[in-house]
Amino acid sequence: MVMIRDVWVNWFEGEENGYNVCPFHEWRSEDRIEVLDQVKLLKVDEKLMDYIEDQLLDLPTELLKEVFQKSYLRKNMSRIQLDYCFIATDGKRIIAVDTMGYKTPIRKSRLTPRQEQVVFETLTEQDVPYFQLEITLPAKEYHLLSPSPAELAGLTRKERQLKQLLLMVLDQLQTTGSDAEIKYWCTEWDPLTYKKLQQKGRTEVWEQLLSGVRVGWSQRHYKLCEAMVKGHSFFEKLWELEHPERVK
């Protein structure tokens, strides 16, 4: 068995997109860091790595059998056995997974730079079990509440979180907002379009707003998000999570 020991993990739970499993340099002091006393290392092909990172679907049966009850979490002075926990790498990317007893990759974490180096060194020094994805999946479809990686490329953790919050608010606007509300927020986003908007229908105005917001992240995005969350308690709480310095 090829094991990696003393692995720090910062679990991101229920994430279907790998871009939300933050790298070590984006970990925060308030994140809950755990230590895996020992964890099984697997080599996987690129397709299986994509599957693990960007899906919440059942993992291959043979992979689950390989890792069953081989990994342990260190908690205080005790070791807690985990049913299906492992580190997967395709030789370039690395991700730790804990299914929490299920068959899907419920919790995912990146590793510290030192542990990543240990993984790469182990690949060259030991015979690591290798798994491939035997099924063919259709191309993943992205949508407003699950934006494509290209829409979040180059953003910091805080910017990604706020942009996804903005898209959530926009999704609600599309569902429940009136034509006048959509025009109002489109004008807030781009005041110079006010006159032209008066001649456009709901669908065209919505597409104009969305196409502008989807690109990158800027101070304009920030101000729009800040304005749109006001008065919505759920969204306000998510906003506050990204601004702990403002919460008394």
Radius of gyration of the chain (CA): 22
Q: What global pTM score does this model have?
A: 0.90
Domain ranges of the chain: 3-131, 149-246
- Nearest CA-CA partner of 34 in 60, 54, 56, 12: 12
- Tell me the backbone φ, ψ of residue 59, rounded to 5 degrees: -80, 155
Instruction: Quote the distance between the C-alpha of residue 75 and its chain's center.
Output: 26
- Mean pLDDT across 12-24: 96
pLDDT band at 136 (very low <50, low <70, confident <90, very high): confident
Instruction: Quote the distance between the C-alpha of residue 12 and its chain's center.
Output: 7
Helix 157-176 × helix 233-241 angle, to 10°: 170
Q: For the chain, how long is the longest CA-to-CA vector?
A: 69
CA distance 149 to 152: 5
pLDDT(142) > 50: yes
Dihedral angle at the C-alpha atoms of 106, 173, 204, 190, nearest 10 degrees? Answer: -100
pLDDT tens-digit series, residues 82-129? 999 999 999 999 999 999 999 999 999 999 999 999 999 999 999 999
pLDDT tens-digit series, residues 160-196? 999 999 999 999 999 999 999 999 999 999 998 888 8
pLDDT(238) > 90: yes
CA distance 185 to 140: 30
What is the share, in percent, of the chain residues with pLDDT greater than 70? Answer: 98
- Element spanning 187, H or E: helix 179-189
| pLDDT at 89 (0 to 100) | 97
